[in-house]
Structure 1
């Protein structure tokens, strides 16, 4: 169920999709093993027995991260399964999920528990959601959640296929959907975050909805955000 994606990083895809306004989205998460042996869980997917067994085989879960205010549906289940783990909230999620006891908030600075191993940037200025973009140094992987997406041409049908094409969800390569582009009301803040992201020596790019990019990651990110840099 877990597939190794690089040095000390694994990914898992959910068996089911999540429906948002009639659009089906696949789910994907990442597990990063830190130097102390503890696990950093990014965007947890629905927890099933096989996944729990695979995760436990890698080490103790110590950090459960919701990278934006849209990716939170499975956080409570993971918190119940590993009550000793710390749970981190991105901007806006504490208000949205008052039922979850968060331990800390995510911002521009990495938590001391993963500083030096995982860097992060708060992609501010978007009215849909404020996403925390992470960079796993050992594997050279940048982790986007919803800001970059990609679906194959047959994923949607009917009017949804038309909307998805117009939204660039089915572009020739992974792209920032038009709705997210238009939702950046503070482009200066977004450009500042993008400058930090482009400074990372990225080799790979992981996203929650789309086939991962496994080479020339920095160049790919530059193309995906060319509209913002101009």
Structure 2
């Protein structure tokens, strides 16, 4: 299901996937259309013929992005469908996926084709993954993947519901799961990255696993990352 999220940005829901220990996760990707109709596919979901046709109707798929090492499952399928697209990945993913024809690691240098439209910031220092966060300037939207989560009440059942609650995966608003908090071995690096993200002063927030935030995004991020220190 497609949802317009602002000028030249859409979110698209994909199928539910099963992760470790039988936890089920919804999937969501973000599609951004740059000037000139080039498309950025951020964290691609499973590609179907219908989805391919809908994407092609918007423009030319120019960039495929795996924003962390946990969201690379479908990117090879997309690259086979769109072989001229540039594959951009989070730092650390290159070693995991030598099968992919990489364009560049995100965050090492600005992406020339995104100037003035998309900025990125890698959040380093986490033992689970390095996540690249993006800011779509025309819509005022910051895009997270796994560092922010908010599953709806009742999504998990039985012992998984208890684990999800203890892990801060469910709550009144999006939060950083406890497993990611304790995995930050370099909180100074994380705090420096978050200061740069907060400087964007985003009004809206997208995440892969949670209800999108349509207003008050900057204040939400300050609350969600308050455990790193006062902002």
Partner Cα separation in structure 2 for residue 163 and residue 190 of structure 1: 25
Q: How far 1:153 sits from its partner (Å)? A: 1.9
Q: How far 1:229 sits from its partner (Å)? A: 2.3
Contact (CA 8 Å) 1:108, 1:120: kept in 2 or not?
no
Contact (CA 8 Å) 1:33, 1:40: kept in 2 or not?
yes
Contact (CA 8 Å) 1:68, 1:93: kept in 2 or not?
yes
Specify the alignment match of 1:40 in structure 2: 40
Alignment of 1:58-73 (within 5 A): 58-73=58-73
Specify the alignment match of 2:180 in structure 1: 180
Using structure 1 for the length normalisation, give the TM-score: 0.97
Distance change (3 Å), C-alpha of 1:106 and 1:63: same
Consecutive aligned runs of 4 or more in structure 1 exceeding 6 Å deviation:
none
Alignment of 1:50-129 (within 5 A): 50-107=50-107, 109-129=109-129
Secondary structure of 1:162's aligned partner: helix
In the alignment, structure 2 segments of 5+ residues that lack a partner are none
Specify the alignment match of 1:210 in structure 2: 210
Partner Cα separation in structure 1 for residue 96 and residue 77 of structure 2: 16
In the alignment, structure 1 segments of 5+ residues that lack a partner are none
Using structure 2 for the length normalisation, give the TM-score: 0.97
Alignment of 1:15-30 (within 5 A): 15-30=15-30
Partner Cα separation in structure 2 for residue 169 and residue 229 of structure 1: 20
Contact (CA 8 Å) 1:109, 1:120: kept in 2 or not?
no
Contact (CA 8 Å) 1:63, 1:88: kept in 2 or not?
yes
Paired positions, count: 230
Q: CA RMSD in A?
A: 1.0
Distance change (3 Å), C-alpha of 1:21 and 1:115: farther
Cα deviations by residue, 1:122-151 (Å, 9 ceiling, x for unpaired): 101100000000000000000000000011
